[in-house]
Amino acid sequence: MSNQRTRQLQKRFSDIIHGNVKLEQRSNDCRLFLEGLCVQVDPVKCANDIVASRHGLPALQQAMRSDLRTEFLNGLALNVLEFLLRAEMGGDVLNSVIVNIVDPPIFWNEFHRAFENGTLDQRAQRVFAKVLSYLLKMTSRDTTTYRNLASRPSILGKLINSDQQEVREEGYLINHILSTNGIASTDMADFDFVPGGRHDNDFVDFRKIAILPTADELSSNKNPALRRASYLDDPEGKKTRVADYLDNTFRLLRDDMMHELKEDTDIALKKKQGRQRGLVINGIKVVDIYAGPENRRTRWGLMLQCDSDLPILKGVQEEDRKRFLRDDHRGSRVLRHQSLACLIGDGEIVGLGTIHRDEELLAENPPIIVFQMEGQISLSKALPQLKTTKRLRFIQIDCAVFAFEPVLKALKRMRVLPLSEEILFWEDGNEMASPPVVVTRITGPLTRNPWIDLKPLLRTPNSIVLDISQVSSLLAGLEQRVSLIQGPPGTGKSFIGALLAKALHMYTSQAILVVCYTNHALDQFLEDLIGIGIPRKDIVRFGSRAKPALEDLSVHNLRRQGAKRSKAEWAVINEMKYNASVHLSKLQVSLTTLLSSQPSPETLLAHIKSKDPEFFHAFRVPDPEDMMQFVGRKGKVVDETFLIREWMQGGDARMFKYEPHVQAAHRIWSMDKNRRQLKVEEWRSDILRRVVEDLCTAGELYNSCQDDLSRQFGKVLVEQLRTKRIIGCTTTGAAKFAEDIRAASPDVLLVEEAGEILESHVITALSRTTSQMILIGDHKQLRPKVKNYALTVEKGEGYDLNRSLFERLVLKGFPHVTLSAQHRMRPEISALIRALTYPDLKDAPKTKNRDDIRGVQSNVIFVNHNHPEDEDNRISDGADGGSTTSKQNTYEVKMVLRIVRYLAQQGYGSDKIVILTPYLGQLSHLRDALKKETDPILNDLDSGDLSRAGLLMDTNSEKKKTRIRLATIDNYQGEESDIVVASLCRSNPSNSIGFMDSPERLNVLISRARDGLILIGNSATFERSKKGGKLWTDFLNLMRKGGYVFGGFPVKCEKHPHKRRVLEQPEDFDAYAPDGGCTEPCGMLLECNVHPCSLNCHPPRAAPNQPNLHAATLCRTLLRGKCSAGAHTITWQCRAGRPSDCTQCKSEMNRLKQLAEHDQKVKEEREAAQRAHQLRMLELEAKLRSERKAYEELQRAKEEQKKKVESPTASCVIQ
């Protein structure tokens, strides 16, 4: 539109509302007026001008009634409403404008009829929904008329079932408004903070909210209803404080889960850039219902068959596939059990669920995946889409939902809050309540004599005498219903916890639930309990990953022991199994029906008989007279579906068109083919909806039966748990096994490291029988971890999700005891945290007079440099202000590697060293560099973070390497090491240090080391930081005052103490301290006491009080001399001694011997040949004589015969 045209329209609009020009009834004048309204610059000013002028509202009302055609509703009228709704001021001004358009309802009636009839286009549908929700939210007018309209199924149903996300969202909001008629007008005035109505999974009652989000919730951009922490301190809210507390705790924790989950799904849908971490399968279809093998049923799921084989399984032999998936480290990672997954249909989210890993089905070719969806809403929307979607994609989402789900479920189950007087209602001046059982056998003697030896009272293996702060903490833990014990670094918090557990175990019959943040911390605490004398048989441990030494405590051992059940119990179980089988059959039938083709005419007739009787009557085939039959085309007998089939195909009633009931249904039979198809689709949708409802109902009932069966089988475990006095678990385990633990009725909750545990995790560990809670932690160390930075204390928005219950109560003024003597750090290190954080902290005697770290000029070192950091886009550090990337520093990685190698040369084993860094990117970089020489060991938390980023690959080295610990600062809280080497990473011209501005993080970093603290960083970046500059300036001034800041790594030679150097570059280590000393020759005599060590100077001892390395080092000096024969020069190593034989002589002797042996052999062979020849000649001569003799005998015989023939006389005589 040209500028001139715009100015003309603006003038026409202004002239009319100010009465300069009368608005004529002609539609063209009205159209120009409305066009002039739409080209106004500011909708707020426009609305004000309309209301301010006495001509404005009548003119607008007249213009909006001037044309009620569909084209107008989808065009100009739509533009007007859309423009006006942009006036976000609300209030009476816009109310007046909107109300004058819709009342009297001449325009409004046509508008909502068009919506009901389906003649509005998509944009107009969105505007209609927004106008309707706006009318319902008006607080100063009677909205009854609009409520009645919105309640119509033809309105509300279409809104909620729309194929447009925006329309559905408005529908959810409208449905929420209709269902919350009793909400006070003051609450209704600000919908941003009122729960319910944002999407199909937003309800006033948080217990109705499904843990996993629906597709609509994931697509929604509306902010959730979250209350700020200060809301719970409102004195006027005491009556509902517990309910509000549970509600907000649930919503905040779930929103933290949603933050990561939504980010991952956006990446999967390509709505956001990022690395897709989970498996993506293109092409998948629903084939059946899964419920596990008959003898081991599970909750039901959908069996999804892949169109083709999984890439990782290609090449694996058919008989090896199951073993590969179960045992091979590559196969076992594929589609892990209970991991989250998302179904995508035609580019849109169909639904979320979890994977039930069945290796038998995964091993098939093509594989079958079991996908379990929860929640009626998600299922009812996903199932129809599974039938109609042409192309399904299956995307695994690597979000740790398993860490949230048990706690969220436990919160939904909570109806009361034990110890709420202390948790929510404590005020300064309130009297501290005592627990039901006070251990006076301990508190009495300890109160009378704080220095008493506890060994005889607690029957401990060793003598125990406490200091005053430890006595106060022990008394608080035994005498208060809720006690808070603050333990600064190294003060022995766990030791006090173990003493409390031992006292309660010995002198009461109470069961204690011990909760820790990590499996590692849990194992340490349980070992402390065993070490202090609590029998192993009284302890049970929930969860996995226990130390081998504690495997006998596992709850799995209790489950294996089993127990006998009565006949009545088996009868109940069998009844449950039967009911489950009935619901499973219905499930399978419903799915088969759902996946089948379109409903038949018979099915449609059966449906409309009750749902649309007018149509059913119109399609009734009359009964023939006299037992005859009606015959249609080609002699086919007419059945009861004849008329409905003809009608569906667009035909008439043919031979029945003159039947009275057909004539009476003229409206139905006169419908055009389009309207008929729409009606049939409506019936089919109704039938599909009913099938889906049946399937959802059957699935819900089946799962309920399975849950009942699990509880029934779990009763045996509960009985066994009740025989245990100590139940140990992590915070997640406490929620995951909440039902079993609650049934075991623990009386006391003891929480270790309570300062780094979310409040939600603590309260879900409470059961109805909990009468005492002991929180041991330190609110001045790191806060609990959350995914969504916007919810943190550091962000400052007031939600304070990462403020622990421990910290909240301390800040509220709740009495707490602080331990005062630290037993970990040498004084140089403890002085730092004393100056920054704990002014009253004292050093225990055993921390003093320790040996200095060998090979360095100081026990505390800050290596200062200006080498820049790098971005690491492979992984994000969400705690770093919600950053989507991480940081790394190549220079610091190289320096760390050389420092660790140098410390090893001084005799420090890798078990004495830990490497820390704030950032996951740097952690990954360090791991890659270190694994060339060592085997870097990560804890479970860091491994999980790197694994989710795809940066943790197995390193199966054939050569066994030295192991060294490597961790982020956040995941090393509660740990300690002799020497800490820390890479601070940050070094940039903008002086940005991210989450390193946190005093709690710095506190944890500098308090992990017992003997040596080595930091590498850019001091200028940290000191000039806007947010954390003062903190780091104070810290670095302390370091400078102690002489701990260096321009490189300050080494000194232990053998030549005057040889000192600051190594600024990684290469300097090779140049100036190649063997851990200096560049001078070593010179010390070796084991032979004759020759000196030929190496560069190096430490003479592996550790203090260890023998001199040279005394055990064999001398390899080469010596020379003549052999005993005096013929050759020989060499030998000193360590081996002069050889008794000359190798050259020996070689010559061997040569001569071989030559003699060869000559002898030749001679023997020649003589043997001669003998053989003579023998052959003798044989020939004998043979010749024999042949000659035979010849002679033959000749004589011939002659004699001849003589006989020649003599006749002789012949006669013979006769």
Q: Could you tell me the pLDDT band of residue 262, with boundaries at 50, 70 and 90?
A: confident
Residue given tokens 């091993």 in the structure block: 363
Res 375: pLDDT: 76
Q: Could you tell me the pLDDT band of residue 1103, with boundaries at 50, 70 and 90?
A: low
Res 1155: pLDDT: 87
Q: Among 161-165, 263-267, 784-788, whose mean pLDDT is lowest?
A: 263-267
The segment with the largest mean pLDDT, out of 566-575, 617-626, 1086-1095, is 617-626
10 Å CB burial of residue 927 (0-12, 13-18, 19+) is: buried
Higher model confidence: residue 347 or residue 1045? 1045
Res 711: pLDDT: 81
Give mean pLDDT, residues 798-802: 94
Q: Could you tell me the pLDDT band of residue 498, with boundaries at 50, 70 and 90?
A: very high
Q: Among 343-352, 745-754, 1128-1137, whose mean pLDDT is lowest?
A: 1128-1137
Give mean pLDDT, residues 499-512: 96
User: 1213 phi and psi, to 5 degrees?
Assistant: -55, -40
If you ran DSSP here, which 8-state letter would residue 752 be given?
A: T
Res 936: pLDDT: 65
What's the pTM value of the predicted model, to 2 decimals?
0.79
Q: Say whether pLDDT at 1087 is over 80.
A: no
What is the CA angle 544-546-549, rounded to 5? 150
| Cα(1007)–Cα(1017) distance, integer angstroms | 17
Give mean pLDDT, residues 1105-1113: 70
10 Å CB burial of residue 233 (0-12, 13-18, 19+) is: exposed
Residue type, 987: S
| Cα(194)–Cα(203) distance, integer angstroms | 10
| Cα(980)–Cα(486) distance, integer angstroms | 24
Q: Considering only CA atoms, which of 229, 225, 408, 250 is closest in space to residue 800?
A: 229
Higher model confidence: residue 91 or residue 580? 580
Q: Could you tell me the pLDDT band of residue 849, with boundaries at 50, 70 and 90?
A: very high
Q: Say whether pLDDT at 1210 is over 50.
A: no
| Cα(95)–Cα(343) distance, integer angstroms | 43
Quick one: how far is CA 683 from the chain centroid? 43
Q: Say whether pLDDT at 181 is over 60.
A: no
Residue type, 1081: P
Q: Say whether pLDDT at 599 is over 70.
A: yes
3-state secondary structure at position 1088: coil
Contact 375, 214 (CB under 8 A): yes
Q: Considering only CA atoms, which of 1003, 1007, 1045, 1009 is closest in space to residue 1028?
A: 1003
The segment with the largest mean pLDDT, out of 23-27, 269-273, 759-763, is 759-763
What is the CA angle 698-704-708, rounded to 5? 145
Share of the chain above pLDDT 70, in %: 92
Q: Label each residue of 133-175 as H, E or C.
A: HHHHHCCCCCCHHHHHHHCCHHHHHHHHCCCCHHHHHHHHHHH
Q: Could you tell me the pLDDT band of residue 179, with boundaries at 50, 70 and 90?
A: low
Give mean pLDDT, residues 244-264: 91
Give mean pLDDT, residues 782-786: 92
Residues near 949 by beta carbon (within 8 Å), at least 6 away in sequence? 275, 277, 874, 875, 876, 920, 924
Digit-coded pLDDT (tens) for 38-52: 999 888 888 888 888
Digit-coded pLDDT (tens) for 883-933: 667 789 999 999 999 999 999 888 898 889 999 999 988 988 898 888 877
Higher model confidence: residue 800 or residue 656? 800
Residues near 1080 by beta carbon (within 8 Å), at least 6 away in sequence? 1053, 1056, 1059, 1096, 1097
Give mean pLDDT, residues 355-362: 92
Q: Say whether pLDDT at 266 is over 70.
A: yes
Res 1211: pLDDT: 42
Residue type, 312: I
Share of the chain above pLDDT 90, in %: 42
Give mean pLDDT, residues 494-500: 95
Q: Could you tell me the pLDDT band of residue 875, with boundaries at 50, 70 and 90?
A: low
Q: Could you tell me the pLDDT band of residue 191, with boundaries at 50, 70 and 90?
A: low
Q: Hey, which residues does 932 pair with through a beta bridge?
A: none
Give mean pLDDT, residues 484-495: 94
Q: Among 10-14, 33-37, 721-725, 1152-1156, whose mean pLDDT is lowest?
A: 1152-1156
Give mean pLDDT, residues 458-482: 95
Q: Say whether pLDDT at 427 is over 80.
A: yes
Say if residue 104 is preceded by a cis peptide, omega within 30 of 0. yes
Q: Could you tell me the pLDDT band of residue 349, with boundaries at 50, 70 and 90?
A: confident
Residues near 1203 by beta carbon (within 8 Å), at least 6 away in sequence? none
Contact 99, 145 (CB under 8 A): no
The segment with the largest mean pLDDT, out of 20-24, 872-876, 1147-1151, is 20-24
Q: Could you tell me the pLDDT band of residue 1108, with boundaries at 50, 70 and 90?
A: confident
Q: Say whether pLDDT at 820 is over 90.
A: yes
Digit-coded pLDDT (tens) for 11-32: 999 999 988 888 887 778 899 9
Res 187: pLDDT: 47
Res 562: pLDDT: 60
How high does pLDDT run on average in the chain?
A: 87
